[in-house]
Chains A and B, each alone.
Chain A
Amino acid sequence: MTDSKYFTTTKKGEIFELKAELNSDKKEKKKEAVKKVIASMTVGKDVSALFPDVVNCMQTDNLELKKLVYLYLMNYAKSQPDMAIMAVNTFVKDCEDPNPLIRALAVRTMGCIRVDKITEYLCEPLRKCLKDEDPYVRKTAAVCVAKLHDINAQLVEDQGFLDTLKDLISDSNPMVVANAVAALSEIAESHPNSNLLDLNPQTINKLLTALNECTEWGQIFILDCLANYMPRDDRESQSICERVTPRLSHANSAVVLSAVKVLMKFMEMLPKDLDYYGTLLKKLAPPLVTLLSAEPELQYVALRNINLIVQKRPEILKHEMKVFFVKYNDPIYVKLEKLDIMIRLASQANIAQVLAELKEYATEVDVDFVRKAVRAIGRCAIKVEQSAERCVSTLLDLIQTKVNYVVQEAIVVIKDIFRKYPNKYESVIATLCENLDSLDEPEARAAMIWIVGEYAERIDNADELLESFLEGFHDESTQVQLQLLTAIVKLFLKKPTETQELVQQVLSLATQDSDNPDLRDRGYIYWRLLSTDPVAAKEVVLAEKPLISEETDLIEPTLLEELICHIGTLASVYHKPPSAFVEGSRGVQHKRIPARAGSGESAESSDVGQSGPSEAPPAVIPSQGDLLGDLLNLDLAPPTATVPSVQPSMQMGAMDLLGGGLDSLMGDDSDTLGGDIGGSPSMGAGLGAAPAAMPASLGAAPAVGGGLGDLFDLGGGVGMPTGSYVAPKTVWLLAMKGKGLEISGTFARRGGIIQMDLTLTNKAMSVMTDFAIQFNRNSFGLAPAGPLQVLTPLSPNQTIDVSLPLSTSGPVMKMEPLNNLQVAVKNNIDVFYFSCQYPLSLLFVEDGKMDRQVFLATWKDIPNENEAHFQIKDIHLNSDVASNKLQGSNIFTIAKRTVEGQDMLYQSVKLTNGIWVLAEMRIQTGNPNYTLSIRCRAPEVCQFVYLCYELVLKN
């Protein structure tokens, strides 16, 4: 007997016929009819008209027929709620059936009928089934609670089903436990703040026991639930890891990946020097490699996850490069993912092999794959310096193939190689120029134009080449137009005599004939620059560009952390947080990796130390010989007058001509600006002016620059920042210790110059003269940049305010605390010693804005243990105002991301001695407490940076 015949009835009047058959007396005929109905339902025909007739068949002792009727009911009950009530009686009766299979079937089906009236009747049978003697019924009932919760959450809570469900976690049957865990996890997701799952060491222990005994699917539910647990200490997390690792040998890949998720997450809590930590790292590699011999679809899921794992912990798979080599018959989606991971794993040790492979791939058939392979060669060159030469020659070989898309892709990556290794591989330009005509993609055209412009002085016919592009200027894409504009301006600055006409032509095309505001604006900027001060224009346009960073398309650290918590799931396949593709409240909770216990401690200690460094009472150095030794040896004679260095006035002039706002726009943000306008950030810098060429102090009004930077960067913060915060003066030297001289003071940073503002008061009876000041060696080499300007003698009871410019080029010695400064002041009476503490923000330089890409790479580069976490309490500012305020003190916001009402600001700070401090500030709307995470290669500064944050934000 075959069932396929049911699919073939397509006669007219079918419904009528079926109705007759359903009401037939013969059991066989009835069953046949129901099968036909289900077949029609499958194909998408509306058979809801038969509802009463089908439901009439429900009262049968034939289980097969019953199941078919149930299937029908599940589909159509919602459209016929009143009729569905007819079925209730049978369900209630079936829930009492002696056969456990029938009891389970009834409770399973009832939960799928989404009709309010029926759910009311469901409660009693469900309550019984949850306590049924048969585990099969209990495990079905456990899932039914989740079904009911989906229909009517309130009902489930009122009826106390949640507690019963929690009890099932202690059930003797492993499958009941697993289903209860699955149901509870799902319910808990829609109540993010409830403590439904209430995981504690006891329940965890029960789960781990059930883990060994339940089905493969149950193991997945349990592992996914375990991953949400936060162990209390490293010992607990180690013991969980030990009990989870055997799962890595399970045949089911999903079990393996879920186990990997638990391990990756809990590992974070283990001390790095623990032997077990190393063992665990070693254990993770083989199962990940084994996943690659699974079916292609699973390989794809595994590879997407490995991509995350490699970014988080590159050490795990660094020796496994070969397994990611592409096989000829791999499906394209597997090939592309493997390629991505190959590049991430490429290092000096394996680069030769990788290159040989990539060259092989570049001759394959699939266009996307070939392009990606070519691009990968370029990325290798940028990542591994030693291989750059070989990469370039490989790319040249590929260009010789003349395959159109290969050539174009190669030119795009060669442009990046030029950016990374300037003045090294320019000999290939001639070859590139030969292929000019075959370029038809905007990115390749733009790249080629950039190259021509950048190296115009070496290309004899650069003007002809660029002119040829100019003919179809208006048909080009914006990317190409912008690049062409910049390239011609560059050319003009390099060869002004021959190209004046050309540059006028392009400027008029850009400013007069174009509707594109970006293009017009850039055109005007160049025009003004060129017409007011060609020398300045040269400085700006032909400035040395910052090198591009090696790692591109890294996932942002916080997102990466979140995705690690979602290993195995769709989020990890899409590389997007669940909120990006899941509707409603489900799955929007942000998961985070537990932090090491150690960093928690540091946060605590900093809370305690809050009142420490910044507000510490001025401590007079005890007169101990060895401490004073250094100071006494110092030459206290007034140093010869040196003027605080001022930038060459020529540049200043140029900037002024451009107008107060524009200068800082160019100086501070050229990179981001270029990025925004030009599309590709690395190309955009062609616009000009790397920060290096325009020292920040040049931007005479950093405040204005900050505001404009914000405008471009964040599209928010229109308000002007308030400038850097200056603390009120405090008394440093008491009159009684200073033989009548009282000194109070504070520190400030004004326009890039560090100043020590002193108030000297003569409380003695005699006149004071011959003031001089000297510093002991200190952590950042602060030293007076000029003499202490107290020109007139200080008569009794007179007070004088002095500003002393400081430089940071003095001798360096690490102090405790770090920001401690020991000062000696001399007058005609004696030498006095005192110490004071300066806010670290004094040392934040104006060009402390990091490139986004560099930021990402640096953040990743700094080891996790260098990260410190702080809470800034009671700040009632929104993120834009806060970021403006911080910018006034040279804490620059590089990027802002908003996730679920939580703003994350990524900020960078550069100290005078070149140390970079990276920070992530989380601001939750309505929550006055900000969370601050700081990373720095010199972790000791973190705390002081945090104090600056607090100081700036609170004032």
Chain B
Amino acid sequence: MIGGLFIYNHKGEVLISRVYRDDIGRNAVDAFRVNVIHARQQVRSPVTNIARTSFFHVKRSNIWLAAVTKQNVNAAMVFEFLYKMCDVMAAYFGKISEENIKNNFVLIYELLDEILDFGYPQNSETGALKTFITQQGIKSQHHTKEEQSQITSQVTGQIGWRREGIKYRRNELFLDVLESVNLLMSPQGQVLSAHVSGRVVMKSYLSGMPECKFGMNDKIVIDKQGKGGTTDDSGKSGKQSIAIDDCTFHQCVRLSKFDSERSISFIPPDGEYELMRYRTTKDIILPFRVIPLVREVGRTKLEVKVVIKSNFKPSLLAQKIEVRIPTPLNTSGVQVICMKGKAKYKASENAIVWKIKRMAGMKESQISAEIELLPTNDKKKWARPPISMNFEVPFAPSGLKVRYLKVFEPKLNYSDHDVIKWVRYIGRSGIYETRC
């Protein structure tokens, strides 16, 4: 199991050091600093073995978090734990920075004592932790006996993510379907790979212990229902359903039920959390198409023309559009002409950045640029990195639709109809690249 956990600043100074196992000594702290943080080369692996001691590290801005062990631990678990650790810290004091860590070091030690015991991760749900570990001193000494046992049963219980007795005057929930659409396209416009990775994020403000059921246009579910219903009905819904390659769920979802019936039922945590993640690869709506044209005119000049076409309903508007056209390292000057938006050559980033605030569906826009090059005697050809794109569209490129989210709370007197529900779809670009 995890033998120790260290947090360093960018200089390699230790901010937090907590040792859980006897086989990890103080020299481990220095070994990581010398061999990884101060290493000249770029880090070639997130797992480093130094003198039979293994170091797992992740970086958040310029802070290094390292877990250390001498055993054959579950490596996936260690990384998951480090991410979780970051989430918990962020939930307590916001951004993970040197200043915040120094300001909260007592709290961090307290958290580390609670969520990692002898190197074994324990309950690390912030909802539960916040009931008894607080920034303003310790609450628990003022707890009544009932409160104490409620805390412990939540921390260890089956529903560790929600406490009992939550009350809201207005029962309300928000569902955000957030998708990032990823594309790799060849210069000829052939899709080399495309997939959507989506998340369903829920903000729930519901009283009591509500039982929820979530439904979407999952092809498997729709097809199953279609068999029972009339043929007409199934034909119609079949068109709108989507094939989900794979999905994963927050721990509140009953996985065995999903496995057997493919129904998504759960008691949600209070507040914001990620209900599910999914991935689709079929019938993806690619919101934009990029058509590049790069021509080398002699050895000192490049002509670039890029056309973007929006491919969705004309009534919808895409926002925050940004096209990044890489330029060679020996660029000396750039002249850009674009019809729409603003374009600028950013020498420090070796790219022409073209920004458009809004763009409706079924439109097209164009940029052309002349790039002057300094003559070099570097034999190696320019690698031509792909043209990448960023955008945000108000629909789900996978075609996913929320069909229902039913809420049942048998003990309290509010029904599904009384809950105010909001659904929003946002499609963003993931890695959206076209080779040129």
Chain A residues at the B interface, C-beta cutoff of 8 Å: 2-4, 6-7, 35, 38-39, 42-44, 61-64, 67-68, 70-71, 75, 98-101, 104, 108, 111-112, 114, 134-137, 139-140, 143-144, 146-147, 150, 173-176, 179, 182, 186, 212-217, 220-221, 224, 243, 245-247, 249-254, 256-258, 286-287, 289-290, 293, 295-298, 300-302, 322-323, 325, 327-329, 332-333, 353, 357, 360, 363-365, 401-403, 566, 568-574, 578, 581-583, 586-587
Q: CB-nearest residue of chain A relative to B57?
A: A297
Q: Does B26 contact A (CB under 8 A)?
A: yes
Q: A38, B75: Cβ atoms under 8 Å?
A: no
Q: Which 7 A-B pairs have the closest CB atoms?
A: A286-B246, A136-B152, A4-B102, A246-B259, A254-B76, A246-B255, A254-B77
16 extra A-B contacts, CB within 8 A, seeds A64-B106, A108-B117, A215-B122: A44-B14, A71-B109, A100-B149, A136-B156, A174-B156, A182-B120, A215-B124, A221-B120, A251-B251, A257-B74, A290-B247, A300-B47, A323-B193, A328-B431, A364-B383, A570-B71
B248, A256: Cβ atoms closer than 8 Å: yes
**Is A38 in contact with B109, judged by CB distance below 8 angstroms?**
yes
Binding site for A on B (CB under 8 A): 1, 13-17, 19-23, 26, 29, 42-47, 49, 52, 54, 56-58, 69-77, 79-83, 99, 102-106, 109-110, 113, 117-118, 120-125, 132, 137-138, 140-141, 143, 145, 148-149, 151-153, 155-158, 160, 184, 192-193, 195, 197, 245-251, 254-256, 258-259, 274, 276-277, 279, 379-381, 383-386, 388, 431, 433, 435
Q: Which A residues lie within 8 Å of B22 (CB)? A: 114, 150
Q: Which residues of A contact B14 (CB under 8 A)?
A: 42-44
24 contacts between A and B (CB under 8 A): A35-B106, A68-B106, A70-B113, A111-B118, A112-B20, A143-B118, A146-B118, A150-B21, A175-B157, A176-B156, A182-B120, A212-B255, A212-B256, A217-B81, A246-B258, A249-B248, A251-B276, A286-B279, A296-B46, A325-B184, A357-B192, A363-B384, A578-B72, A583-B70
Determine if B123 and A573 form an interchain contact, defined as CB atoms under 8 angstroms apart. no
- Docked-complex contact A327 and B123, CB < 8 angstroms: no
What secondary structure prevails in chain A residues at the interface with B? Answer: helix
Are the C-beta atoms of B17 and A217 separated by less than 8 Å? no
Q: Are B74 and A220 in contact (CB under 8 A)?
A: yes
Are B141 and A63 neighbours in the complex by a CB distance under 8 Å?
yes
Contact of B76 among A43, A63, A298, A329 (CB under 8 A): A298
Q: Are B249 and A251 in contact (CB under 8 A)?
A: yes
Q: How far is the CA of A290 from the CA of B278 in the complex (A)?
A: 8
Which chain B residue lies CB-closest to A288? B246
Give A568 to B76 CA distance when docked, in angstroms.
6
By a CB distance below 8 angstroms, the chain B residues around A572 are 75
Point out the residue from B102, B117, B141, B157 that lies within 8 Å of A140, measured CB to CB: B117
> Of all chain B residues, which has the CB nearest A1?
B103
**Contact at B247–A573, with CB atoms within 8 Å?**
no
Please state if A254 and B109 are interface contacts (CB–CB under 8 Å): no
- Find the residue from B14, B75, B158 having the highest chain A CB count within 10 A: B75
Q: Bound state CA distance, A135 and B47, in angstroms? A: 35
CA gap between A98 and B138 in the complex, in Å? 16
- Return chain A residues, CB-CB under 8 Å to B251: 215-216, 250-252
Contact yes or no, B71 A587, CB < 8 A: yes
Which of B76, B104, B245, B248 has its CB near the most chain A CB atoms (within 10 A)?
B76
B152 contact from A112, A135, A212, Cβ within 8 A: A135
**Nearest A residue to B19, CB-CB:** A75
Given contacts A64-B110, A71-B113, A254-B74, contact A249 B152 (CB under 8 A): no
Do A101 and B248 touch across chains, with their CB atoms under 8 A apart?
A: no
CA distance A112 to B119 in the complex (A): 11
Are A297 and B245 in contact, CB atoms less than 8 angstroms apart? no
The answer to whether A293 touches B113, judged by C-beta atoms less than 8 angstroms apart, is no
Closest A residue to B18 by beta carbon equals A71
A702 to chain B, nearest CB (A): 45
Would you call B109 and A251 a contact (CB within 8 A)? no
B245 touches which of A250, A289, A327 (Cβ 8 Å): A289
Instruction: Select one of A104, A249, A581 contacting B259, CB under 8 A.
Output: A249
* Chain A min CB distance to B158 (Å): 5
Are A101 and B431 in contact, with the CB atoms below 8 A? no
Q: B431 touching A329 by the CB < 8 A rule?
A: yes
Contact status A401-B141, CB under 8 Å: no
Q: In the complex, which residues of chain A have a beta carbon less than 8 angstroms from the beta carbon of B380?
A: 401, 403
**Bound Cα distance A158, B246 (Å):** 50
Q: Closest A-chain residue to B384, C-beta based?
A: A363
Contact A44 B26 (CB under 8 A): yes
Task: Check A67 against B113 for contact (C-beta < 8 Å).
Answer: yes
CB-based contact A99/B148 at 8 Å: yes
With beta carbons under 8 angstroms apart, the residue of B43, B148, B157, B256 that contacts A101 is B148
Q: Which residue of A lies closest to B132 (CB)?
A: A101
Q: Is the CB of A301 within 8 A of B76?
A: yes
Instruction: Tell me the complex Cα distance, A67–B332, Å.
Output: 61
Q: Is the Cβ of B138 less than 8 Å from the Cβ of A64?
A: yes
Q: Is the CB of A217 within 8 A of B121?
A: yes
- State A221–B29 Cα separation when bound (angstroms): 27
Residues on A with beta carbons closer than 8 Å to the beta carbon of B433: 327-328
- Chain B contacts of A256 at CB under 8 A? 76, 248
**Least CB distance, B54 to chain A, in whole angstroms:** 6
* Inter-chain contacts of B26 with A (CB < 8 A): 44
User: What is the CB-to-nearest-CB distance from B130 to chain A, in angstroms, rounded to a whole number?
Assistant: 14
Query: Residue on A with the closest CB to B385?
Result: A328
A246 to B261, CA, bound (A): 11
Contact for A246 among B70, B123, B145, B256, CB less than 8 A: B256
Q: Which residue of chain A has its CB nearest to the CB of B22?
A: A114
Residues of B within 8 A of A146 (CB): 118
> B47 to A251, Cβ gap below 8 A?
no
Q: Is the CB of B15 within 8 A of A570?
A: no
- B141 and chain A: residue at smallest CB distance: A63
Is there an interface contact between B74 and A224, defined as CB atoms closer than 8 Å?
Answer: yes
A64-B110, A365-B383 given as contacts; is B46 within 8 A of A300 (CB)? Answer: yes
Q: A364: nearest residue on chain B (CB-CB)?
A: B383
A252, B120: Cβ atoms closer than 8 Å: no
- B75 A573 Cβ-Cβ under 8 A: yes
Q: Are A253 and B80 in contact (CB under 8 A)?
A: yes
Measured in the bound complex, the distance between the Cα atoms of B107 and A68 in whole Å is 10
B152–A134 touching, CB < 8 Å = yes
Q: Are B279 and A4 in contact (CB under 8 A)?
A: no
Residues of B within 8 A of A300 (CB): 45-47
Do A301 and B72 form a contact, CB below 8 Å, given A3-B106, A249-B258? no
Contacting pair B77 A250 (CB below 8 A):
no
How far does the Cβ of B71 sit from chain A's closest Cβ, in whole Å?
A: 6
Question: Is A289 in contact with B156, judged by CB distance below 8 angstroms?
Answer: no
Q: Nearest residue in A to B16 (C-beta to C-beta)?
A: A42
CA distance A213 to B252 in the complex (A): 9
Contact of A581 among B54, B246, B274 (CB under 8 A): B54
Please measure, in the bound complex, the distance between the C-alpha atom of A135 and the C-alpha atom of B132, giving whole angstroms: 16
Question: CA separation between A578 and B52, bound complex, in Å?
Answer: 11
B52 near A583 with CB under 8 A, answer yes
Q: Which residue of A lies closest to B80 (CB)?
A: A254
Contact residues in B for A38 (Cβ distance below 8 Å): 105-106, 109
Q: Which residues of B contact A360 (CB under 8 A)?
A: 435
Query: CA A290 – CA B277 in complex, angstroms?
Result: 9
Residues of chain A within 8 A (CB-CB) of B70 are 582-583
- Bound-complex Cα distance A536 to B59 (A): 65
Query: B157–A173 contact, CB under 8 A?
Result: yes
Q: When the two chains form their complex, are residues A570 and B47 in contact, meaning their CB atoms are under 8 A apart?
A: yes
Choice from B76, B192, B386 contacting A253 with Cβ under 8 Å: B76
Smallest CB gap from B47: residue in A = A573
Question: Out of A173, A186, A581, which one reaches B156, CB within 8 Å?
Answer: A173
In the assembled complex, the Cα of A7 lies from the Cα of B106 at a distance in Å of 12
Given contacts A67-B113, A213-B158, contact A249 B72 (CB under 8 A): no
Best-buried of B80, B143, B245 by chain A (most CB within 10 Å): B80
Minimum distance in angstroms from A2 CB to a CB of chain B = 4
Please tell me which one of the listed residues B102, B124, B148 contacts residue A7 in the complex, with CB atoms under 8 A apart.
B102
Contacts A42-B105, A583-B70 given: A568-B184 contact, CB under 8 Å?
no
Q: In this complex, what residue of A is CB-closest to B109?
A: A71
Give CA–CA (A216, B160) in the complex, Å. 11
